């Protein structure tokens, strides 16, 4: 009986890689992965990502003596669920519209203007701060990219969320020496998108500075802002970025701009990062990027693939004040789940290394957009919300058949 079972297992595992990976779209560079390649034939190896600059995803898998994985490497889209993945794609396109010398963060669509704002976090070669942001005008064809100056300027911003004429920005860095328009502290700023005037809404917790307000999302019913405070100010390069080691615990907080009150909402994540509501605002998704952690005793960061890189789902209480019922939702297949956005149909999207993963409401990966740059942020955009705009060292537009929620 034992021998008989062994034979069946061997036969079941005898498929070739050619059957696992195939071209599956007539008009775009897409590869389909059969059965999630759950059983890979033969010896295989996937290089581990060791830091933010050297990242490897599923398409970098090497199967001994087999060249068919080349299809994965030569694709812009990896389809894991053939039916729903193809529906998401429709007739997609992938275009690079802009290359930048800075890390472009906090991509946010402003429907009223049909424009996308993105924050220049810092110059990647020199770690120097940038005093301007970029705005992409989708009313032009092709869309134009131009510098955007707020008054006073905003530096080292990493998160964005739009609500009611105001672009709320999470500022990660703190540096009192940068005096163009006053000292800059980690916190939340409001930009009036018509005038460009920027106002500090929050820059401390009872006098203690924030470590890094990395990402934020506004609840449109109450105007309250949920935000993540993590260690990445100091960890991102010391004095250029933050004046001192963190003094506050990392946590998720809720801020009420009308009263100034801040309340801790969850302090169980290692490094809380991206946040997004489901379309009905009953679920909150928050990513934990603790696998990128500060190096103890100095200002730097390190990546450990065995660290925390899971998105968690929470129930939002009816009064929108509490997050309850925390559960693990999705572990990224590469690097960390940095930025999060939710599609109108509830699918959850996260940037993960050189790409964006699209996951269903149960946390099952359906599709991956594969890029050749680290995707720091992304947003749905366009009059029909059927474009996905990716930012990092580039600005990329993906046109497809998945739509975002209009806020
Ligand atoms: C995979 O593709 C990238 C660029 O698209 C290329 O630089 C790399 O050499 C390719 N790897 C293999 C194994 O073909
Ligand atoms: C686009 O998605 C919808 C579901 O949202 C689906 O009904 C439709 O067939 C898809 N279109 C294509 C071309 O796949
Ligand atoms: C951006 O750089 C890539 C090469 O890395 C190049 O192929 C592309 O044409 C550039 N695009 C723009 C808009 O500058
Ligand atoms: C600010 O500038 C002073 C004088 O140049 C320097 O000593 C100090 O280290 C600087 N602080 C930061 C946070 O850059
Ligand atoms: C969490 O919310 C879901 C619907 O969004 C609901 O079905 C479930 O009962 C809630 N669980 C708890 C513990 O409140």
Instruction: Report which protein residue has its CA nearest ligand 2's atom 12.
Output: 90
Could you tell me which residue, 184 or 106, shows the higher pLDDT? Answer: 106
Instruction: Report which protein residue has its CA nearest ligand 4's atom 7.
Output: 177
Instruction: Report which protein residue has its CA nearest ligand 4's atom 8.
Output: 177
| Domain end marker among 33, 56, 75 | 75
C-beta of residue 184 within 8 angstroms of C-beta of residue 173: yes
Instruction: Report which protein residue has its CA nearest ligand 5's atom 4.
Output: 282
Query: What is the predicted pLDDT for the residue at 9?
Result: 38
Q: Give me the residues paired with residue 148 across strands.
A: 133
- For residue 80, is it within any domain? no
User: What is the number of H-type helices and E-type strands within the chain?
Assistant: 5, 31
- The atom number, within ligand 5, closest to the CA of 280 reads 5
Ligand nearest to the CA of 325: 5
Report d(CA 167, CA 122) in Å as an integer: 20
Q: Are residues 27 and 140 in the same domain?
A: no
Report d(CA 318, CA 19) in Å as an integer: 48
pLDDT tens profile 358-404:
999 999 999 999 999 999 999 999 999 999 999 999 999 999 999 99
Query: What is the predicted pLDDT for the residue at 4?
Result: 43
- Tell me which of 183-192, 274-283, 288-297, 311-320 is least confident: 288-297
Task: Please name which of 311, 313, 232 lies closest in space to residue 277, comparing C-alpha atoms.
Answer: 313
Q: Are residues 91 and 70 in the same domain?
A: no
Q: Does the pLDDT value for residue 72 go beyond 90?
A: yes
Report the C-alpha dihedral over residues 154, 388, 50, 160, rounded to 10 degrees.
20
- 256 C-beta closer than 6 A to ligand 5: no
Q: Which contiguous run of DSSP H or E holds residue 82?
A: helix 82-89
What is the CA(13)–ligand 1 centre distance, in A? Answer: 28
Report d(CA 330, CA 348) in Å as an integer: 10
- For residue 299, is it within any domain? yes
Query: pLDDT tier at 140 (50, 70, 90 boundaries)?
Result: very high
- For residue 69, is it within any domain? yes
C-beta of residue 170 within 8 angstroms of C-beta of residue 158: yes
Report d(CA 36, CA 319) in Å as an integer: 40
Query: What is the predicted pLDDT for the residue at 178?
Result: 74
Q: Does the pLDDT value for residue 13 go beyond 50?
A: no
pLDDT tens profile 208-217:
999 999 999 9
Ligand nearest to the CA of 361: 5
pLDDT tens profile 229-272:
999 988 776 656 788 888 999 999 999 999 999 999 999 999 99
Q: Are residues 148 and 47 in the same domain?
A: no
What is the CA(73)–ligand 1 centre distance, in A? Answer: 6
What is the CA(33)–ligand 2 centre distance, in A? Answer: 20
Pocket of ligand 1 (CB under 6 A): 70, 73, 372
Instruction: Report which protein residue has its CA nearest ligand 3's atom 9.
Output: 96
- 96 C-beta closer than 6 A to ligand 3: yes
- For residue 407, is it within any domain? no
| 112-126, 160-174, 223-237, 284-298: range with highest mean pLDDT | 160-174
pLDDT tens profile 19-67:
899 999 888 999 999 999 999 988 999 999 988 888 999 999 999 888 8
Q: Which two tokens stand for residue 378?
A: 């992304």
Q: Are residues 189 and 219 in the same domain?
A: yes
- 283 C-beta closer than 6 A to ligand 5: yes
Residue in the block written with tokens 């909150």: 284
Q: Does the pLDDT value for residue 353 go beyond 80?
A: yes
Name the residue of 282, 325, 362 to mutate for ligand 5: max ligand atoms within 8 A of Cβ.
Answer: 325
- For residue 368, is it within any domain? yes
- For residue 405, is it within any domain? no
What is the CA(254)–ligand 5 centre distance, in A? Answer: 21
- 145 C-beta closer than 6 A to ligand 3: no
* Domain containing residue 277: 86-399
Query: pLDDT tier at 154 (50, 70, 90 boundaries)?
Result: very high
Range list of H helices, 251-337: none
Looking at every residue in the chain, the average pLDDT score rounds to 92
Residue in the block written with tokens 């269903």: 360
Query: What is the predicted pLDDT for the residue at 17?
Result: 60
Query: pLDDT tier at 8 (50, 70, 90 boundaries)?
Result: very low
Task: Please name which of 94, 79, 90 lies closest in space to residue 365, comparing C-alpha atoms.
Answer: 79
Q: Are residues 142 and 200 in the same domain?
A: yes
What is the CA(91)–ligand 3 centre distance, in A? Answer: 23
Name the residue of 177, 183, 241 to mutate for ligand 4: max ligand atoms within 8 A of Cβ.
Answer: 177
- 19 C-beta closer than 6 A to ligand 5: no
The arithmetic mean of pLDDT across residues 311-331, rounded, is 97
Q: Are residues 62 and 138 in the same domain?
A: no
**Which whole-number Å values give the CA distances from 105 to 26, 82, 95, 377, in the listed order?**
33, 31, 18, 5
Q: With b meaning 16 or more CB within 10 Å and e meaning fewer, what string describes 176-206?
A: eebeeeeebbbbbbbbebeeeebebbbbebe
What is the CA(83)–ligand 5 centre distance, in A? Answer: 28
Long-range CB pairs of 368-371, under 8 A, 24+ apart, other chains included: 368/57, 368/58, 368/77, 368/78, 368/80, 368/333, 369/76, 369/77, 369/94, 369/398, 370/57, 370/59, 370/75, 370/76, 370/77, 370/78, 371/396
Query: What is the predicted pLDDT for the residue at 18?
Result: 64
What is the CA(366)–ligand 2 centre distance, in A? Answer: 14
Q: Are residues 95 and 64 in the same domain?
A: no
Structural domain count of the chain:
2
C-beta of residue 363 within 8 angstroms of C-beta of residue 349: no
CATH classification at residue 256: 2.120.10.30
Q: Does the pLDDT value for residue 5 go beyond 50?
A: no
- For residue 104, is it within any domain? yes
The arithmetic mean of pLDDT across residues 90-95, rounded, is 96
Q: Are residues 71 and 111 in the same domain?
A: no
Q: State the first-to-last Cα distance of the chain, in angstroms, to the nearest integer.
A: 61
Query: What is the predicted pLDDT for the residue at 198?
Result: 96
- For residue 351, is it within any domain? yes
Tell me the torsion sign for CA atoms 31, 32, 34, 37.
positive
Neighbours of 30 (CB within 10 A): 22
User: Quick one: how far is CA 60 from the chain centroid?
Assistant: 21
Contacts of 137 (CB under 8 A, 6+ apart): 114, 115, 143, 144, 145, 146
Q: Are residues 156 and 208 in the same domain?
A: yes
């Amino acid at each position: 009986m034992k021998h008989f079972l062994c034979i069946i297992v061997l036969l079941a595992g005898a498929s070739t890689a050619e059957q696992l990976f195939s071209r599956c779209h007539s008009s775009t560079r897409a590869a389909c992965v059969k059965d999630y390649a759950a059983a890979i034939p033969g010896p295989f190896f996937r290089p581990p990502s060791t830091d933010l600059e050297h990242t490897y995803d599923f398409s970098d898998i090497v199967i001994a003596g087999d060249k068919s994985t080349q299809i994965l490497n030569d694709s812009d889209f990896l389809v894991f669920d053939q039916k729903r993945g193809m529906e998401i794609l429709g007739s997609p396109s992938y275009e690079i519209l802009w290359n930048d010398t800075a890390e472009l963060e906090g991509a946010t669509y402003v429907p009223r203007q049909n424009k996308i704002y993105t924050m220049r976090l810092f110059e990647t070669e020199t770690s120097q701060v940038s005093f301007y942001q970029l705005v992409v005008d989708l009313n032009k064809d092709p869309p134009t990219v131009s510098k955007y100056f707020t008054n006073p300027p905003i530096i080292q911003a990493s998160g964005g969320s739009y609500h009611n004429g105001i672009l709320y920005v999470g500022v990660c860095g703190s540096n009192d020496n940068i005096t163009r328009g006053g000292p800059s502290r980690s916190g939340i700023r409001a930009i009036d998108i018509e005038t460009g005037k920027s106002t500090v809404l929050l820059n401390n917790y009872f006098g203690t500075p924030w470590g890094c307000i990395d990402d934020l999302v506004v609840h449109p019913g109450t105007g309250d802002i949920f935000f993540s405070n993590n260690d990445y100010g100091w960890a991102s390069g010391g004095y250029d970025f933050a004046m001192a080691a963190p003094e506050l615990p990392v946590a998720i907080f809720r801020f009420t701009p009308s009263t100034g009150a801040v309340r801790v909402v969850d302090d169980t994540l290692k490094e809380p990062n991206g946040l997004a509501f489901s379309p009905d605002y009953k679920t909150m998704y928050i990513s934990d990027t603790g696998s990128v952690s500060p190096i103890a005793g100095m200002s730097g960061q390190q990546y450990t693939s065995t660290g925390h890189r899971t998105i968690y789902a929470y129930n939002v209480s009816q009064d929108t004040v509490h997050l309850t019922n925390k559960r693990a939702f999705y572990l990224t297949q590469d690097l960390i789940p940095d930025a999060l956005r939710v599609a109108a149909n509830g699918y959850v999207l996260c940037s993960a290394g050189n790409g964006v993963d699209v996951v269903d409401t149960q946390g099952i990966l359906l599709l991956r957009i594969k890029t050749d740059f680290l995707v720091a942020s992304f947003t749905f955009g366009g009059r029909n919300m059927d474009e996905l705009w990716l930012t990092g060292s580039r600005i990329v537009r993906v046109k497809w058949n998945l739509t975002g929620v209009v806020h």
